[in-house]
Structure 1
Amino acid sequence: MSFSPQSRVWIYQSDRKFTSTEETEILNKLAAFTNQWTAHGNELLAKAEIRYGFFIVLTVDESQAGVTGCSIDSSVRLIKEIEQEYHVDLFNRFNIAYKVNGEVVVNSKEDFETLVNIKQVTPETIVFNNMVQNLAELETKWEVPFKNSWHSTVFAHLL
């Protein structure tokens, strides 16, 4: 199934890594959801994946049918159910994900700020920009060096 580069994406970042069992169960739930996801009765061309064990990525190709408020609400409900069932936080935008030696780490904004302060996070550290809007941005602007991300403007006073 090929998705247009303009397909919309939503990224939900967990505050901890899913276990392999959890990942399998969650992927099954997501697949069941995306297979029947509709907008005003029109089937949406959608897929869901988990990247790095931390990120749930929902993708919808709107070239066939556009996403509506109701269809977005139904996806948010599903994510909230996953959050409760697996005791994870998927909506905290103040948790910041970055890479250390190729491994994803998630920290609170305060802890991340400390790491920037003591130069454990450098301008070259790869951070995740979960505000990307579409598939093209996901591929090119999701994993970026700290110095090229919105994070660097938030923490500019520390650099």
Structure 2
Amino acid sequence: MSFSPQSRVWIYQSDRKFTSVEENQILNKLAAFTNQWKAHGNELLAKAEIRYGFFIILTVDESQAGVTGCSIDSSVRLIKEIENEYHVDLFNRFNIAYRVDDEVKVQGKEDFETLVNIKQVTPETIVFNNMVQTLAELDSKWEVPFKNSWHSSVFAHLL
């Protein structure tokens, strides 16, 4: 199944890494959901994945059927169920994910600011831009150096 580069994506970042057991359980829930996800009765061409143990990514190819407010609401309900069941925070936009070597770390805004201050996070540190909206952007603009990200404008006074 190939998805258009213009497919819409939604990224939900956990505040902690899922265990491998949790990841398998969540992937099963997501697969069951995406297999029956519909918009006004039309089946959506959709998939879900978990990357790095932290990021739930939903993808919908709208060339077949467009996403509606109701279909988005149903996906948000599912993500909230996962949040409650696994005691994770998937909606906090102030949690910032970055990579050190090959390890993904997530910090709150204040702790991240401290890391920038003490140069543990540098302009070259890879951060995750969970605001990307298409598959093409996911591939090219999701993992970017701190200096090229929206994060750098928030923390510009520290650079």
Pick the TM interval, shorter chain: over 0.9
* Corresponding residue for residue 75 of structure 2: 75
Taking structure 2 as the reference length, what is the TM-score of the superposition? Answer: 1.00
Q: Number of matched residues? A: 159
Which string of whole-angstrom CA distances, capped at 9 and with x for unpartnered residues, describes residues 40-78 of structure 1?
000000000000000000000000000000000000000
* Corresponding residue for residue 97 of structure 1: 97
* Corresponding residue for residue 57 of structure 2: 57
Distance 2:92 2:28 in 1: 24
Distance 1:85 1:98 in 2: 25
Structure 2 residue matching 1:144: 3-state secondary structure: strand
Which string of whole-angstrom CA distances, capped at 9 and with x for unpartnered residues, describes residues 105-156 of structure 1?
0000000000000100000000000000000000000000000000000000
* Corresponding residue for residue 35 of structure 1: 35
Instruction: Return the letter of the residue paired with 2:33.
Output: F
Taking structure 1 as the reference length, what is the TM-score of the superposition? Answer: 1.00
**Aligned positions of 1:1-159 closer than 5 A:** 1-159=1-159
Shift of 1:102: 1.3
Which string of whole-angstrom CA distances, capped at 9 and with x for unpartnered residues, describes residues 8-63 of structure 1?
00000000000000000000000000000000000000000000000000000000
Q: Return 5+ residue gaps in structure 2 as ranges.
A: none
Structure 2 residue matching 1:46: 3-state secondary structure: strand
- Paired-residue identity, %: 90
Instruction: Return the letter of the residue paired with 1:133.
Output: Q
CA RMSD in angstroms comes to 0.2
